Structure 1
């Protein structure tokens, strides 16, 4: 089994509705996103998944989030844009684009600082 992993970053603001603390105020993070895709196979030249394809799909998805207020986006109107919900949302969106044949998104990790991160995956 091969694991293909990429990292990307974006900057965004958010606020957590119903949170009893500073995070209920509008604030921002420089998010780090790690996506891990698995494949048991390689193509005829020895590539399991071209990094370019995964980077392109993730960059397109993250462009909507970059320099935005996540709390105002449609996918976060009913749920808080926590790191957990962001990881789950990105996981599901990138899976729709990438899963096919032998390729499966395995996990998505969201870091909102150098010291805090959450990982989402489905078993």
Structure 2
């Protein structure tokens, strides 16, 4: 394993710890619950994504579905703080951070996996 790979894994681990140790949320975690749809353009192609967020027994979980690739990626860490949703996907080295709109119908932010691309998702 290269030093760059080790450093990246350590950084993702620190990010996961930071997500899990967040402060109290301005929005109730349930405000993010539901199915969200969006798309990113990268490498000359458009990937359609579906995000499912669920809160049960005080725990919020999420998974991202890449509809065009047939892949489902569970979030390793979920944080809701100050009207922002932060999801970490350690298995693919990715992160999604977004602000919840005032009407609760959209999330606007960025998806980062190597590079960063804008990603707005709309509640279905």
Give the TM-score normalised by structure 1. 0.31
> Looking at CA atoms only, which structure, 1 or 2, has the larger radius of gyration?
1
Give the number of the structure whose residues are more often strand, by fraction. 2
Q: Which has the higher contact order (CA 8 A, sep 6+)?
A: 1
